[in-house]
Amino acid sequence: MPLTRSLSVTSLSGLPLWDEEDLPVDDLLLFEVAWEVTNKVGGIYTVIQTKAKITVDEWGENLFMMGPYYEHNFNTQVEQCEPPNPAIKKAMGALNDNGCLVYFGRWLIEGSPYVILFDTGSAAWNLDRWKGDLWDTCGIGLPAHDREANDSLIFGSMVAWFFKELTDELGDSPNVLAHFHEWQVGAGLILCRSRKIPLATIFTTHATLLGRYICAGNVDFYNNLGKFNIDQEAGERQIYHRYCLERAAVHCAHVFTTVSQITAVEANHMLHRKPDVVTPNGLNIKKFSAMHEFQNLHSTNKGRIQEFIRGHFYGHLDFNLEKTLFFFIAGRYEFSNKGVDIFLESLSRLNYLLRVHKNDVTVVVFFIMPAKTNNFNVETLKGQAVRKQLWYVSATPDVTPHGVLGDIPDMNTILDRDDFTIMKRAIYATQRHTLPPVTTHNMLDDTSDPILANVRRIGLFNARIDRVKIVFHPEFLSSTSPLLPMDYEEFVRGCHLGVFPSYYEPWGYTPGECTVMGIPSVTTNLSGFGCFMEEHVSDPTAYGIYIVDRRFRSADDSCNQLTQFMFGFCQQSRRQRIIQRNRTERLSDLLDWRYLGRFYMHARSLALSRAFPDKFKMEPLAPPQTEGFRYPRPGSVPPSPSASVHSTPHHSDEEDDDDDEEPYDEDKEAERDRQNIKAPFTLGATPEGKKTHPGESAN
């Protein structure tokens, strides 16, 4: 039975067609196994959740996701129901009859995929026996103190048990394909293969365990990949048993994949197997019916951030909010891996440049990274209270009665003595003898916190003379917060630039989310996202994707490059930023799962051909039919304002009167991007005209 792929991407403007015969999904069952199914821990949750819709569209009722059972998550995210497949129901019954509880339902996300959740707590009494099985099978021992590794073994043993019961019941048809994500579920793959359970397997590492640990130690990781003693490094960090689980799963899988080219290089050295397929991470892209709608959202949400700034900087609000830019960094609090170290140093240099050039632009930088706190900062709460009080007392008094009577109100009687007294008190309350706080919360470990320690080192304390202000918000954003009542998406849309100069970032969802919202961002050539954009976009900077070279430059040079990127952004006119946001938003097609999902299709086809060669055939050396394209350099660079109102979408800022700049037509440029698609190439190959040196641009 020849294997083909099934998906049409004709709805994506400019993408090459890929409309072939259907994969025989009726004769297959697909299981996606991940620790973050219905269980949000990190970025893998976003991968699984956003990819569900396109996978359900392809596989329908034959897709099942498997993860750990947590009562709260199950009650809030899953609609319990009976399994539609009798074989699955019987396999679940075998585990339930032995006291190992398994739950079934529909995950309440887009696509509503079926989920099978395993209660590791109910099966914990088998842990010692299953540890012995793992040792006898592959010589991997797990220490008693590592609860996460022990839970992963319990989960993996239950998954392998389930697959044994299922395949015994199904027989030769339909065939089973299991896709395992990350080392936490690797034990299940290892046990399935060692017990010769007839199923095709895929293992995806979204980041190698050892790579993340080593990079956190300020090591020149990527330029010394071949010099590490892997076993010694894992042992010194007391993760040798986890590393063994990950490496065994990689070598047991029929197909090994990872999320980016940079992580593929890393995996080849750390895990000693070259990935068969690179499967980039995507998002579900929802286009607005009119181009100007996302610009309107930027304007609205920027206004909400400005309200917070008015309160946070009360008494020191001597800068023009209309000439204030909002930068931000967000994600896990990994100081070095996320590039917070060079970001802070670059902000110090940016502050110096803005002061020396007497630039009237002010930059407010938000750090959205969760840290240990005990409550909101009193001074920050007071600032918001003062802002609200000022707004209340300065509201125009009610003149409706005068209007009804047809009288023109006397301006001397609108405000009486009490109103003046209240207003004076409110103005007096805005007097401040301290600087605006750097952090919005009380930190539990203020003295040793890396961000605050470096803020003290560079001296950015939100003083009046500083053109760069810092706001450290050590909690994830929430629309119910009394300080900054915004969801993350709303906050991102209101900012001007996202800065993510990561040293270790296998993919990088944060700059990707900025891109689909039309917000320019800074990334690096050590992130999967940055490498992907370099490969697909001829001039990423013109499209609002600034790529810092952290691989072939020193830390100081990378810092200077980041500073120049930010300083250049500050020098753009408002109209130039509007045009750049339009270009950035046009790149969102590149990140759509309808395009990137084809990489997963190829991986599944390859796994089936290797597991069941008699039934599924594929050319062994055939490259994946993952045709790509490259956006050309925009015709109008640097960005320039439009000469006509029709071609310029509604924007959020007042326009500058720059009559001397070149005309810009958004419609023509967008059409040019769709037409100037280069010849197809396979992901991983060097496109024509592209330099072979990693991290270098073709222009």
Pairwise CA distance, residues 622 & 604, whole Å: 14
Dump strand ranges (E) for 151-258. 175-181, 200-205, 255-258
Average pLDDT over residues 8-17: 36
pLDDT band at residue 620, thresholds of 50, 70 and 90? low
pLDDT at 398: 52
Q: Is residue 106 part of a domain?
A: yes
pLDDT band at residue 672, thresholds of 50, 70 and 90? low
Indicate the pTM of the whole model.
Answer: 0.84
Does residue 413 share a domain with residue 273?
no
pLDDT at 395: 62
Q: Is residue 84 part of a domain?
A: yes
**Cα–Cα separations (whole angstroms), residue 150 to 77, 123, 137, 156:** 25, 11, 16, 10
Mention every residue, 6+ apart, whose C-beta is less than 8 A from residue 410.
none
Rg (CA), the chain: 28
- Of 278, 304, 335, the one marking the end of a domain is 278
Average pLDDT over residues 352-363: 95
Does residue 271 share a domain with residue 382?
no
Q: Is residue 8 part of a domain?
A: no
Convert the pLDDT of each residue in 62-103 to its tens digit.
999 999 999 999 999 999 999 999 999 999 999 999 999 999
The C-alpha angle with vertex 276 and arms to 38 and 34, in degrees rounded to 5, equals: 10
250 pLDDT above the threshold of 70: yes
pLDDT band at residue 400, thresholds of 50, 70 and 90? very low
pLDDT at 693: 39
What percentage of the chain exceeds 70 in pLDDT? 80
Q: Which long-range contacts (CB under 8 A, 24 or more apart) does 6-9 make?
A: 6/58, 6/601, 7/54, 7/58, 7/594, 7/597, 7/598, 7/601, 9/594, 9/595, 9/598
Does residue 383 share a domain with residue 254?
no
Convert the pLDDT of each residue in 441-474 to its tens digit.
999 989 999 999 999 999 999 999 999 999 999 9
CATH number at residue 75: 3.40.50.2000
Would you tell me the crossing angle of helices 240-252 and 147-170 to the nearest 10 degrees?
A: 20
CA contacts within 13 A on the Cβ side of 460 = 28
Residue 19 burial by Cβ neighbours in a 10 Å radius (0-12, 13-18, 19+):
exposed
Pairwise CA distance, residues 490 & 496, whole Å: 12
Domain with 126 in it: 25-278
pLDDT at 415: 63
H/E stretch holding 378 reads helix 378-394
**Cα–Cα separations (whole angstroms), residue 224 to 228, 230, 240, 530:** 7, 12, 20, 21
H/E stretch holding 48 reads helix 43-59
Does residue 392 share a domain with residue 265?
no
pLDDT band at residue 649, thresholds of 50, 70 and 90? very low
Q: Which residues of 362-398 are buried (b: 16+ CB within 10 A; e: fewer)?
A: bbbbbbbbebebeebbebbeebbebbebbeeeeeeee
- Of 433, 456, 479, the one marking the end of a domain is 433
698 pLDDT above the threshold of 90: no
- Of 222, 244, 278, the one marking the end of a domain is 278
Q: Which residue has tokens 């938000």?
A: 366
How many domains would you assign to the chain?
2
CB atoms within 10 A of CB 461: 14
Span of 241-255, 342-356, 413-427 with lowest mean pLDDT: 413-427
Span of 12-26, 86-100, 306-320 with lowest mean pLDDT: 12-26
Q: Is residue 489 part of a domain?
A: no
Does residue 259 share a domain with residue 392?
no
pLDDT at 74: 96
pLDDT at 631: 67
Mean pLDDT, the chain, as a whole number?
Answer: 85
pLDDT band at residue 656, thresholds of 50, 70 and 90? very low
Average pLDDT over residues 644-662: 44
302 pLDDT above the threshold of 50: yes
Convert the pLDDT of each residue in 124-148 to its tens digit.
999 999 999 999 999 999 999 999 9
Q: Is residue 332 part of a domain?
A: no
Convert the pLDDT of each residue in 103-116 to its tens digit.
999 999 999 999 99
pLDDT band at residue 179, thresholds of 50, 70 and 90? very high
Q: Can you say whether the dihedral through the CA atoms of 64, 69, 73, 76 is positive or negative?
A: positive
Does residue 126 share a domain with residue 249?
yes
Pairwise CA distance, residues 469 & 435, whole Å: 11
What percentage of the chain exceeds 90 in pLDDT? 68
Task: Answer for the pair 502, 339: CB distance below 8 angstroms, yes or no.
Answer: yes
Q: Is residue 474 part of a domain?
A: no
Q: Is residue 673 part of a domain?
A: no
Q: Is residue 676 part of a domain?
A: no
Mention every residue, 6+ apart, whose C-beta is less than 8 A from residue 239.
209, 210, 213
Convert the pLDDT of each residue in 577-590 to its tens digit.
999 999 999 898 88
Task: Answer for the pair 22, 2: CB distance below 8 angstroms, yes or no.
Answer: no
Convert the pLDDT of each residue in 189-226 to its tens digit.
999 999 999 999 999 999 999 999 999 887 889 989 99
pLDDT band at residue 293, thresholds of 50, 70 and 90? confident
